[in-house]
Structure 1
Amino acid sequence: MFIIIFFIALWYLSLFSQTFLQHRYASHGAFEMNRFWERFFYIVAYITQGSSYMSPRAYAIMHRMHHAYTDTELDPHSPSYSKNVFAMMWRTSLFYRSIFHNKMAVEEKFTKNLPDWRSFDRFASSGYSRLLWVAAYALLFVFFASAWYLWILLPIVIAMGAVHGAIINWFAHKYGYVNFRLKNTSVNLLCTDVLMLGESYHNNHHKHPSSPNFGIRKYEIDPVYYAIKFLSWLRIVRIPRVAQAN
């Protein structure tokens, strides 16, 4: 039971960090925060994402490329150029690592207004750090996995961030419904998205990338938007008026 609770908690905490920090904040500037809170959420992302931590800067560049080049060969994660979801995950990984290690020429338009804490990113993304997290997860399973089948969850725990990304970038470009007719394959995967914290409203997001609220219709509930609104009320973040209008 402990492993199941741990898995569910990690699923949502890791997903929250990705959609809040790397996606809505770093990639799209859906809200603003000062340097203290930015670095605070860097640390939160590292703790919650562990071995699958992603540099907000590198993630943002890669994700901006996805929006600019959706469904083309330059798209870092398009189902149109991968045979299966695992091939797409590998292709995405190659793009990400090339950007992170400055081995890819990146257009200037993708590098504007990015959060940048490179010393922390180097530490959090190091092989040493990732191995420590993997070892910690494995020990947790050694002590608390009460049945053999629970070990099936360990690879997902280790690659949690990549799994979240793959679910949206593969399935939300293949199966679902649309609110907006766009020149790409993005769809809304779920009508009410509690499982992916609003991320599965992918068609809505491609229409309004900088909006902090991914939901459009009344039944499209985006839990993270309400978290952002609460943090705005606490004056931890600030939602620009243009973003609110979207």
Structure 2
Amino acid sequence: MGMMLSACQTPASTKDPKKAVQVRTQLAAEYIKSGDLDAAKRALDQALEVNSRDSMANMMMGVLLQQEGSAANLERAETYFKRAISEDSNNAQARNNYGTYLYQRQRYNDAIEQFAIAGATLGYDQRFRALENQGRIYVLLGDQMNAEKAFKQALQANRDSYVSMLELAEIFYLQQQIPAATQMYEQYVRTVGQTNQGARALWVGIRVARANGDRVGMQALVNQLRALFPDSSEYKRYLQLQYSTEAVWK
């Protein structure tokens, strides 16, 4: 396989340097997916040797170093993300990946800035993911208003954004907008399937059913949660609250 790859790439490297960089960067992406980080590093070193300023190759090197995860490589990753963006400020994928990196480093406001730019880049096929990521950080920061806005934008960008459906269902529930919460949760279930819900989704569903006075529906979801996720924090929370008369279970 190695011989075939080198045979394919040699003409590209001599005739078309830009194509050579693209091929090696794509190859590195495949290696990263398969977990072969050393092969990915070699491919990216070759790509950057041809063109050290290529935005996608720099971005991919940042992703690689972040994935390896050692303290030294995490520090180095930022240099590559920044270079990728400085070479092409319209590289929405680089901004989304840099935002993910900043989120991991708990630099939330910096991450929001990158996700906002990626999320506003029309034509970027992962725009909805950048908006989902932005919304998640706002949830983490307790900023419900901006979280709601980001998740609504994500749904506009991709109507099948089930992450946004579930997050909005919970936001509406906590705001006691029960009809809106019910509609969003039902839309989520239709999208992922009744049997494909995680513990968090089931817990949202349980609380929405309770708010609607739907005891049968609530019990069915409780049974599902107990059967599939008996050790989950959500089921433990249900056990704590099952006799509580508070209007809003949190």
**TM exceeding 0.5:** no
- TM-score, with structure 1 as normaliser: 0.25
Q: Which structure: greater helix fraction?
A: 2
- TM-score, with structure 2 as normaliser: 0.24
Which gives a bigger RCO, structure 1 or 2 (Cα 8 Å, sep 6+)?
1
| Structure with bigger gyration radius | 2
